[in-house]
Structure 1
Amino acid sequence: MNVPMTPARARGIVAVRAEAPGDIKALLGDLQKDWDAFKAAAAEKDKEQAAKFDDVVTTEKFNRINSSVSDLQAAVDQANAKLAAMSINGGSSAGPRDPEYTAAFRSHFRKGDIEASLHKGSDPEGGYLAPVEWDRTITDKLVEISPMRQIARVQTISGNGFRKLVNQKGTGSGWVGETAPRPETATPTFGSMTYDTGELYANPATTQQILDDAEVNLEQWLSDEVEQEFSYQEGIAFVSGNGVNKPAGLLSYVTGGANAGVHPYGPIPTGVTAAAADTVTGDELIDLTGSIPTIYQADARFVMNRASIFRIRKMKDGQGNFLWQPSFQIGQPQTVLGYPITEMAAMPGMVAGAFPIAFGNFQRGYIVIDRTGVRVMRDPYTNKPYVHFYTTKRVGGGLLDPQVLRVLKMAG
């Protein structure tokens, strides 16, 4: 089999950060080339299987192309998320809302100077509320790299928690004649969901010499350092967190999960149980999409990890068409059965008893809670000669509506 050496493989892509639409177009071109190579390799493997022959060299090439397609699609997804975050905020900042406080904060950041204007943001532990622009920079980066933030509802609050009333229905009605009496009907009842926040922290460090360098972009440095830890911890919590001092993760609400009995509407239903413990079929994916009532299917999508996408990419329908399709234009996601896919690293793999795939409308199904304000405490004493910046943010999350979501469970 002749496998073309596309630009993607020549570069050995692992991750790509596209900065402009032109960069995304180049990625899309590479992705299309690799996708064509993937389909050609798949056809070769089909011939081998029909002949009951398995060439290890062909298999290795096929898996390599599959991995390259995954890398390029992830890069396109990342670039699309960045463009979406930029469009939400108008593409640029209008400048500091509080120039005096921002300047004072920068001075404190570099030298530990304390000015009167800075004290308005202090807390009892000695930390200071970051300027609005710094807070926004960190939040924007989390939107870019956090899959759940890209698809779920995000609510900003100023207090510690957020409470939502849930209509449990029960309204009565009936048919009557023109002059017939109209007795009182049943009144609906209400339940409630409370979403608390936990404290997420990062503690990046640098030297005073670096801080003394006037060329250092402090906002950029802080957001780059903090995003790595925040995004990692959020990614796990939004999927499997138990809700104790952290978000209650999506899978904690499925039957048997830590929060299965919390929502008034019940747990997230299992739409399909796979026949096997380590793989799924195309029919099972179709059944999963059909397990949600039609009224809730608008804007539905799949959520799974990279390894699961890797496997599903090889599947075909009865006419020999691949169920998975790559992004073909800027802003368009990868799809399975015509539904978008969000790659979420924290989702479990296809192992016995796991819930590796979720499907539904996450904008209506899951909520991320951000408490306004990122706090930063400057600590030059604990680890001399390094200066630490203990940074905290209050984050929560939980189930909004189990009716719009379904999970696929593996056998076993």
Structure 2
Amino acid sequence: MDETALAGFETKTVTPEIRGLQDEMQRTFESFREANDMRLDELERRMTGDVVTSDKVDRIAAALDAQNQRIERLALKEMRPALGQDRARRGEPASEHKSAFERYVRGGDETALRRFEEKAMSNLTGADGGFLVPDETETEIGRRLASISPIRSIAAVRTVSSAVLKKPFAISGAESGWVSEAADREQTAAPQLAELSFPTMELYAMPAATATLLDDAAVDIDRWIGEEVEQAFAAQEGSAFVNGDGVSKPKGFMTYAKADESAWAWGKVGTISTGANGAFAEGEAADALIDLVYALKAGYRQNASFVMNRKTQGSVRKLKDEDGNYLWLPPASAGARATLMGFPIVEAEDMPNIATGNCAIAFGDFQRFYLVVDRQGVRVLRDPYSAKPYVLFYTTKRVGGGIQDFDAAKLLDFSA
């Protein structure tokens, strides 16, 4: 979670609890450095590490992960308003669509929603039934997903009204050059264009509620739906954006064809080898990461991030440069990310672990590398019959995704 992911939320002062956790994390990292330095000294002196020291390093590393996750949860909670809070604070009544939708959700009354449909001259019901949620609810669900879905938080996001987004892309870039004011303009070469297609697929969640919950007027129904579906949507999205096969789900960036950077071509993702199977080459871990960073063109490096899972981050946390400085540093402030070699780290649990032949670390400008396509409209179908006495809410949205610029990111391949 970073500031860009939270841009849609009202900024609040960092609470004493978050500030205290941030200070505690800094102290924990100091303890981690001391313990890991001791482990490295033992390896140099004895050619083997002490089990007690290694266990201590692992425990402190786990504590760092837990503290960082707690800080992120608290920061998100402080910066995320309840649905409809802005309108209520200004003393404005709920919109007609929102009021009609709440009556449908609470009691199954479709009359007001159908009347709203006729008044708006729009088709809100689909072939499978259900109604579109109000605009403010859909917007807030999108904001929540951007905060907790790791790839969505750094990727480009486009909202469309059709089932497929087709986007032309100039592989060779636009033709350009210098010319004097009165000189003839030479005809430019025809650009190399590729048409990229991003179909949207249906993603669903089915939260359940009791009649007591729905009858309670103090419960913010919009907020409840948003909180219930956000975790389910984020988990499914996170997996698909990384490893999706493109069949009834978005195509993940790890499933595209890969090629060594020396033989890279459009349509493939470039890779850099560590020089060792299932590990960094002995004494050359920093060099492999530097090679990965500088395999990316300067224009992409400015907004680049590392993407890896928690286990891989635990491994790179122990790495040092030639001067003995740790390459990994904890977040400088609440809501910021940990950094590796000065670039932010995005933790995506669906990335592969370090193993022979696995590309466990991605590095690139994901705003230009990966595109998330949201089809406008989140639909809810109220079902009071299938799981009595509970009421189910079959909630669907359509999402697509895929690589839009194959030159904007590179992968670190753990192989010789």
In the superposition, the TM-score normalised over structure 2's length comes to: 0.84
Tell me whether 1:153 sits opposite 2:156 in the alignment. Answer: yes
Percent of pairs identical after alignment?
A: 39
Q: Which amino acid aligns with 2:245?
A: N
Q: Is the 8 A contact 2:205 2:232 kept in 1?
A: yes
Partner of 1:51: 45
Tell me whether 1:31 sits opposite 2:34 in the alignment. Answer: no
In structure 1, what is the Cα distance between the partners aligned to 2:33 and 2:174? 54
Q: Secondary structure at the match of 2:55?
A: helix
In structure 2, what is the Cα distance between the partners aligned to 1:380 and 1:85? 30
Tell me whether 1:65 sits opposite 2:60 in the alignment. Answer: yes
Superposed CA offset, 1:257-311 (max 9, x none) = xxxxxx99321111x1122232222211111111112232111111000000000
Q: Secondary structure at the match of 1:30?
A: helix
Partner of 1:11: none
Q: Which amino acid aligns with 1:68?
A: A
Q: Which amino acid aligns with 1:60?
A: D
Q: Secondary structure at the match of 1:350?
A: coil
Q: Is the 8 A contact 2:104 2:113 kept in 1?
A: no
Superposed CA offset, 1:228-258 (max 9, x none) = 21111000000011122211111122427xx
Q: Structure 2 residue aligned with 1:142, among 141, 145, 162?
A: 145
Q: Structure 2 residue aligned with 1:75, among 67, 70, 73?
A: 70
Tell me whether 1:351 sits opposite 2:355 in the alignment. Answer: yes
Give aligned pairs, total: 385
Q: Secondary structure at the match of 1:135?
A: helix
Q: Is the 8 A contact 2:371 2:404 kept in 1?
A: yes
Q: What aligned pairs does 1:363-378 form with structure 2 within 5 A after superposition?
A: 363-378=367-382
Deviation of residue 403 (structure 1)? 1.0
Tell me whether 1:188 sits opposite 2:191 in the alignment. Answer: yes
Q: Secondary structure at the match of 2:391?
A: strand
Deviation of residue 84 (structure 1)? 7.7
Q: Structure 1 residue aligned with 2:102, among 102, 106, 130?
A: 106
Q: Residue 81 and residue 180 in structure 1: after superposition, are their counterparts in 2 closer, same or farther (change >3 A)?
A: same
Superposed CA offset, 1:41-60 (max 9, x none) = 11221232233153322222
Q: Residue 246 and residue 183 in structure 1: after superposition, are their counterparts in 2 closer, same or farther (change >3 A)?
A: same
Deviation of residue 324 (structure 1)? 0.3
Q: Residue 173 and residue 123 in structure 1: after superposition, are their counterparts in 2 closer, same or farther (change >3 A)?
A: closer
Q: Is the 8 A contact 1:170 1:187 kept in 2?
A: no
Tell me whether 1:393 sits opposite 2:393 in the alignment. Answer: no
Partner of 1:4: none
Partner of 2:111: 115
* Structure 2 alignment gaps of length 5 or more: 1-11, 118-123
Q: What aligned pairs does 1:6-405 form with structure 2 within 5 A after superposition?
A: 21-22=14-15, 23-52=17-46, 54-78=49-73, 93-94=86-87, 99-118=95-114, 120=117, 121-169=124-172, 184-255=187-258, 265-270=266-271, 272-280=272-280, 281-405=285-409
In structure 1, what is the Cα distance between the partners aligned to 2:114 and 2:322? 66
Deviation of residue 342 (structure 1)? 0.6
Q: Which amino acid aligns with 1:236?
A: S
* Structure 1 alignment gaps of length 5 or more: 1-18, 257-262
Q: Cα RMSD between the aligned structures? A: 2.9
Deviation of residue 387 (structure 1)? 0.9
Q: Which amino acid aligns with 1:32?
A: Q
Q: Secondary structure at the match of 1:356?
A: strand
Deviation of residue 381 (structure 1)? 0.9
